[in-house]
Amino acid sequence: MCIRIKNTQQSLMETSDEVLCTMAASGSRDAEEILATRYSRLVRTCARPFFLIGGDSEDLTQEGMLGLIKAVREYDASKEASFRTFAEICIRNRLYSVLRAAARDKHVPLNQSVSMDTPFFDSNSYTSGTSNLAQRNPEESFIDREHTAALLSGVRKQLSEFEAKILGYYLDGLSCREIAETVGKPPKSVDNAVQRIRRKVARQLLSGDFSES
């Protein structure tokens, strides 16, 4: 029995995203969990620029996972987009909507980097359909991403060589432990570097200088 279960799990691990989505839509929790694990790094990659700007890392990751689950449950394989593309749209829209609400309520610097026109997804509803994704103007999303990229580009000039290396790995979605193993430093050193980067991002926001020159 144990061997059969192990073989089944291994088979699912090798199954395509599209097939797993179909299985998840039919009620397979195993398929949903495999997709959640498979795309957890994408969630971190999408969330981390906003954590550096001023969000809460754990909260943003949880919200990003909600966006991923939405993608799993609503993906339509008959559409032209791949699951990864659809998942990234859902994750980013979820993050934009949550950060917009936080910025509006708290008047924090996130107001400077998050579009005020992002559609809001109810965290308890996954029945809105893919049409809601079209409500966000692609040009607005591009501007938001360019704005964030310009901010981080400016910050990079203020970083030490070690901090710049950590930032690159961090934005790629690696965990602090993974980064520590890659650079041969203790996880605490990596975490300290991330916190220093956050402080420099905060100073960049306060200065209002997002130029890349």
Task: Read off the pLDDT of residues 18-67 as tens digits, 9 standing for 90 and up.
Answer: 999 999 989 999 999 999 999 999 999 999 888 887 777 788 899 999 99
Residue 156's pLDDT band (boundaries 50, 70, 90)? confident
The DSSP output letter for 126 is -
Q: What is the per-residue pLDDT across 78-122, written as a single tens digit (0 to 9) for each?
A: 887 899 999 999 999 998 888 777 766 654 444 444 332 333 223
What percent of the chain stands above pLDDT 90?
A: 42
Question: Which comes out higher in pLDDT, residue 64 or 10?
Answer: 64
pLDDT at 10: 67
8 A C-beta contact, residue 77 and residue 18: yes
Let me know if domain 14-121+131-136 sits in CATH 3.90.1150.10: no
Question: Which comes out higher in pLDDT, residue 211 or 13?
Answer: 13
| Distance between CA atoms of residues 114 and 148, nearest Å | 9
Residue 163's pLDDT band (boundaries 50, 70, 90)? very high
DSSP annotation string for 47-90: HHHHHHHT--HHHHHHHHHHHHHHHHHH--TTSSS-HHHHHHHH
pLDDT at 179: 95
For residue 1, pLDDT beyond 60:
no
pLDDT at 72: 94
| Fold match flag (14-121+131-136 vs 157-207) | no
Please report, for residues 108, 130, 149, the alpha-carbon distance to residue 144 in angstroms, rounded to integers and kept in the order given: 16, 21, 9
- The residue ranges of every structural domain in the chain are 14-121+131-136, 157-207
| Distance between CA atoms of residues 3 and 191, nearest Å | 40
| Distance between CA atoms of residues 117 and 93, nearest Å | 11
- Average pLDDT score, the chain: 76
| Distance between CA atoms of residues 141 and 135, nearest Å | 11
In 10 A of CB 114, how many CB atoms?
A: 26
- What is the topology classification, in CATH, of domain 157-207? Arc Repressor Mutant, subunit A (1.10.10)
* 9-18, 123-132, 161-170: least confident range: 123-132
CA dihedral 144→148→151→155, nearest 10 degrees, is 180
Section 63-77 average pLDDT = 93
pLDDT at 108: 46
